[in-house]
A = this chain, B = another copy of it.
Amino acid sequence: MLKDSPEFTDHIGYWLRRVSNAVSSGFAAKLETLDVSVAEWVFMRLLYKRDPIPPSQVAEVMALTRGGVTKIADRLINKGYLVREDDPEDGRSQRLKLTAKGNQIVPKLAALADKNEAEYFAHLSAPEKRQLMALLQKTVEALGIDTVPIT
């Protein structure tokens, strides 16, 4: 296979992207068997076992615009996983809530996430896994990353 030029492979960011994209696309393929996208999974996961929250808050956490949230919410509503409720205290505001169907599928999707994790990190020892996780978490904290990625 054609290799990438050596001058460009000395960045952590480069390897991070290679691994992350592989893991994510493996996960996306698993989710697809249940006709759910990664964005939809992240969305539902945010709402799972939690009081209904307004779209604006979903937008903030997922680093999406409000328009983007509307689009994903529309798809989830069409699939029967989500409902919109009016906020009784503010006529402009809404609350998003998983339906019973939505609450039922989340654990199934979580099982796929578990399966993917096991599959992609089987080659690392337990200490190595802890080490990797610790370095990543340290990075999230140091950089003040406060959003949940979609893709």
The interface of chain A, by Cβ under 8 A from chain B, is 1-2, 4-5, 7-8, 11-13, 15-24, 27, 45-46, 48-50, 53, 57, 60-61, 110, 113-114, 116-117, 120-121, 123-124, 128-129, 131-133, 135-140, 142-143, 145-151
Contacts and interface: CB of A to CB of B under 8 A. Distances in A.
A151 B151 contact: yes
10 contacts: A5-B49, A13-B20, A13-B116, A15-B140, A16-B136, A17-B20, A19-B20, A120-B139, A120-B143, A151-B151
B45 A4 contact: yes
Copies in the complex: 2
SS class of chain A's interface: helix, strand, loop or mixed?
helix
B136 A19 contact: yes
Given A12-B136, A53-B2, A113-B13, A18 B149 contact: yes
